[in-house]
Structure 1
């Protein structure tokens, strides 16, 4: 069982990289489909790959079939095969870090890939060394969309600080309610539930709404 999983994982990675680098080997796609079929993964794409002669399948068709096979089995390339996801997270952290001085937190935080987690995810390490990953890390597939990445990172930081300090942050000054990271109309915002709900500020612009530092 473990050997089959290792072979299947290796083939999925090779197929993904072949798609990504535009040098897909049809034999890798066939081998992957056969491995999956042996373990009762039976989808239309897998069956088509197994049943057709690879020499008679055009490169465009094989590319489409390979994508369908990976989608059918829920393959995720993680951070290592899709490093642009880490760059998306770093860009998101630069935005949300602009809000941290309102909580009295200074210095430049960093993204930390949590290799010991399964699946591998990402957390944040503050300049003083404090780790923020409460409630589960940011998963790689959350980083394909910048707004989702920023929202997920804001929520992770907020929940981690709450668990760490037992103090609610941020707080809406108009309603005296804790606000939450949320995606509204495709943008990451700090959302207050008061008066039916409203945006306190876009993530990264909290200081304009509540002042630079939290009250002592």
Structure 2
């Protein structure tokens, strides 16, 4: 449990006390379940600060928290950014691991407001042509991680379109398959924000 000297024990924040934070935490917990399925959902805990004021923290299921308390917000976007940031602090410091991690670059991501849409941002790779990118909206990492892996046929543009190698053999005009540009393929993959394990990603990369 987080140590607060000369303070009473925390209490669980009840559903409905802070609707904006409740909604935001539900989205963040979807990402936690998608990336760390063995972890129980995060929760809100409160320490009494004065007679009518509590300090609210994002905590692990066992009540352990880290970082600063949540500050009052005026919108769902502000709430989601604040809760995601606090959740990242708690998970990273209490579990001693980067979270969440970009599955493309194996780097820890950070909350970022993109035109009013709170998202997980990755700094990208160190090589040229591997820029920073938005991996997914906060609350939607499950959709990214569940992208199906391509089959052998899906990885081939000719096979994926329903036209097998026999098309080249029977064509009335000469055909030549050009090699893919790997740098351009990776750049397009990041633009589309899809995994290379998906059908669309395999076609884009190869």
**TM-score band, normalised by shorter chain:** 0.5 to 0.7
Would you say 1:161 and 2:91 are equivalent positions? yes
Cα RMSD between the aligned structures? 2.6
Alignment of 1:113-152 (within 5 A): 113-116=46-49, 120-127=54-61, 129-132=62-65, 134-140=66-72, 143-152=73-82
Alignment of 1:184-199 (within 5 A): 184-194=114-124, 195-199=130-134
Separation in structure 2 between the aligned mates of residue 112 and residue 85 of structure 1, nearest angstrom: 11
- 1:56-78 CA-to-partner distances (Å, cap 9, x unmatched) read xxxxxxxxxxxxxxxxxxxxxxx
Unaligned runs of 5+ in 1: 1-83
> When the two structures are superposed, what TM-score results if normalisation uses the length of structure 2?
0.53
Alignment of 1:69-148 (within 5 A): 86-101=18-33, 102-116=35-49, 120-127=54-61, 129-132=62-65, 134-140=66-72, 143-148=73-78
Separation in structure 2 between the aligned mates of residue 157 and residue 145 of structure 1, nearest angstrom: 18
Instruction: Specify the SS of the correspondent of 2:18.
Output: helix
Separation in structure 2 between the aligned mates of residue 105 and residue 92 of structure 1, nearest angstrom: 21
- 8 Å Cα contact 1:135/1:156 also seen in 2: yes
1:85 Cα deviation from its structure 2 partner? 7.8
1:174 Cα deviation from its structure 2 partner? 1.2
Mark the CA change 1:189 to 1:115 in structure 2 (over 3 Å): closer, same or farther.
Answer: same
1:196 Cα deviation from its structure 2 partner? 3.1
Mark the CA change 1:173 to 1:111 in structure 2 (over 3 Å): closer, same or farther.
Answer: same
Instruction: Tell me the matched-pair count.
Output: 125
1:203 matched to which residue of 2?
A: 138
Instruction: Specify the SS of the correspondent of 1:175.
Output: coil
Mark the CA change 1:200 to 1:85 in structure 2 (over 3 Å): closer, same or farther.
Answer: farther
- 8 Å Cα contact 2:59/2:90 also seen in 1: no
1:177 matched to which residue of 2?
A: 107
Separation in structure 2 between the aligned mates of residue 211 and residue 138 of structure 1, nearest angstrom: 31
- 8 Å Cα contact 1:92/1:149 also seen in 2: yes
1:109 Cα deviation from its structure 2 partner? 3.6
- 8 Å Cα contact 2:84/2:111 also seen in 1: yes
Separation in structure 1 between the aligned mates of residue 86 and residue 110 of structure 2, nearest angstrom: 10
